[in-house]
Amino acid sequence: MATIEMKNIVKQYGDNAPAVRDVSLEIDDGEFVILVGPSGCGKSTLLRMIVGLEEITSGDMMIGGERVNEKPPRDRNLAMVFQNYALYPHLSVYENIAFPLRLHKGAKEDEIDRKVRDAAETLELTEFLERKPANLSGGQRQRVAMGRAIVRDAQAFLFDEPLSNLDAKLRGQMRTEIARLQRKLGVTTVYVTHDQTEAMTLGDRVALLKKGVLQQVATPRELYEKPVNLFVAGFIGSPPMNMLPARPKGDQMELPFVTFTMPPEMAKAAEGHELLIAGIRPEHFVDASSPQPPEGAVSFNADVDVVEWLGNEQYAYIPFEAPEQVRKTLDDLAKDLDGEKMQQQIVVSLEPTTRVGVGEQAELIMDVSKLHLFDPETGDNLLLGAKEKSEDAQA
């Protein structure tokens, strides 16, 4: 087991724009880190540079405190599990797991046997040891691939979208299994995915990449509650954070539906700006008849144009008009996020028992304390800085 430390890692293919740009990231011994981001953002490239399958253009890759840039993959002692975990179809589960051990000349048979059986026990594969991979379920095959990684006593596990070939149900099961196994083994793990749920549930920390640049590295909760910029805010969360044009005027803030008095730190952050983007998550609205409206909430009426009732939750959609400048920022954001054009509407998550009709006016309450303010030019979360600054000032 080992730490993985990346210092200013760059990867450039030919004359193209760099696929990975100046990434610095320290992964603790035993830590589970998720690399996430839209397609093409450099996740696989970064992972492959850790393992040694891709040359590093510049920067230092340190594993267990040692620089490994020039070391071939076999000397790095890392175990990689790919999306297509290539098992050997003609070999039994036992031999598939034993495979990496047999590559070492002089490996003792009883030693191999002990390791394979230990791994099979951990992975609950003991009863399948004599089977061929073709006669296993997708999840069992996945576990065989992990068994191969386990027997090697690797310093770290590296996964590249290992679950993306599985159906939704199995993916859920395997997700839990990988999390459990990682805790049990305590092996440093880097896991690439573009699946939100995997990113939020699996890791100790999540590293979000955009076009090869690291945007934020934080716990899932911090990423969700304190996104550093528009991109992070828009990427994490489903349905995504609502983005609205926001016009500060003195201590008043004007949103499409409501104008309210800003709390002091918000007013401070908004100072000097004419037009901002306000971000607020769907769950930070409630129906006005809610028994316990949040503190610092403002109420307003809005025309609901679509309602989605899902049994355990309910979403109401409220259209709005945004000025050109905000529209452009939001369209660019949608492009970066690999998504469709941003709809000019907010999504509000309501109690499923709330009765709201299409075409009706709903009286809603918004929790102002949960509002984020973004600079439309830079995308920076202005309030985050302001809050921290005021905390620093108090300290």
Residues that bind ligand ATP (CB under 6 A): 13, 16, 19, 37, 39-45, 194
- 79 beta partners: 157
Which three-class secondary structure state does DSSP give residue 136?
coil
Choose from Mg ion, ligand ATP, none: what does 312 bind? Cβ within 5-8 Å by kind.
none
Neighbours of 113 (CB within 10 A): 13
Q: State the nearest-atom distance from the C-beta of 24 to ligand ATP, in Å.
A: 17
Q: Which does 194 bind (CB under 5 to 8 A by kind): Mg ion, ligand ATP, none?
A: ligand ATP
Distance in angstroms (rounded) separating the CA atoms of residues 20 and 23: 7
How far is it, in rounded angstroms, from Cα 279 to Cα 239?
13
Of the pair 42, 220, the CB lying nearest ligand ATP is at 42
Minimum CB distance to ligand ATP smaller for 39 or for 353:
39
**Identity of the residue, 84 or 361, whose beta carbon is nearer to Mg ion in the bound complex:** 84
User: Is there binding between residue 45 and Mg ion (CB under 5 A)?
Assistant: no
Choice between 41 and 316, CB closer to ligand ATP: 41
| Maximal CA-CA distance, the chain | 78
Q: Which is nearer to Mg ion, 44 or 329 (CB)?
A: 44
Q: CB burial class (10 A; 0-12, 13-18, 19+) of residue 27? A: buried
Judged by CB, which is closer to ligand ATP: 12, or 390?
12
- Between CA 284 and CA 297 the distance in angstroms is 10
- Minimum CB–partner distance for residue 43 and ligand ATP (Å): 4
Distance in Å, CB of 16 to ligand ATP, minimum:
6
d(CA 81, CA 31): 17
Residue (19 or 269) nearer to ligand ATP, CB? 19
Comparing CB distances to Mg ion, the nearer of 33 and 350 is 33
- The CA radius of gyration of the chain, in Å to the nearest whole number, is 25
Beta carbons of 120 and 147 less than 8 angstroms apart: yes
Which range, of 37-45, 56-64, 242-250, 258-266, touches Mg ion by CB under 5 A? Answer: 37-45
One-character DSSP codes across 38-94: STTSSHHHHHHHHHTSS--SEEEEEETTEE-TTS-GGGT-EEEE-SS----TTS-HH
By the 10 Å C-beta count (0-12 exposed, 13-18 middle, 19+ buried), 370 is classed as: middle
Question: Which option in ligand ATP, Mg ion, none does residue 282 bind, with CB closer than 5 to 8 A by kind?
Answer: none
User: CB under 5 to 8 A by kind: which of Mg ion, ligand ATP, none does 353 bind?
Assistant: none
- Report what 372 binds from Mg ion, ligand ATP, none; CB cut-off 5-8 Å by kind: none
Dihedral-angle region of residue 372 (phi above 0 means left; psi in -120 to 50 means alpha; beta otherwise): beta
Which of Mg ion, ligand ATP, none does residue 41 bind to, with CB < 5 to 8 Å depending on kind? Answer: ligand ATP
Q: CA 94, CA 105: separation in Å to the nearest integer?
A: 18
Is 193 one of the binding residues for Mg ion (CB under 5 A)? no
Q: Which does 7 bind (CB under 5 to 8 A by kind): Mg ion, ligand ATP, none?
A: none
39 binds, among ligand ATP, Mg ion, none (CB under 5 to 8 A by kind): ligand ATP
- Rounded to a whole number of angstroms, the minimum distance from the CB of residue 32 to Mg ion is 19
Cβ 215 to ligand ATP, closest distance in Å?
13
Task: Report if residue 44 touches Mg ion, rule: CB under 5 A.
Answer: yes
Contact between residue 10 and residue 17 where contact means Cβ atoms under 8 Å apart: no
Per-position DSSP letters for 212-243, written without gaps between them: TEEEEEE-HHHHHHS-SBHHHHHHSSSSPPEE
| Binding segment (CB under 5 A) for Mg ion, from list 43-51, 92-100, 146-154, 315-323 | 43-51
Q: Contact positions toward Mg ion, by CB under 5 A?
A: 44
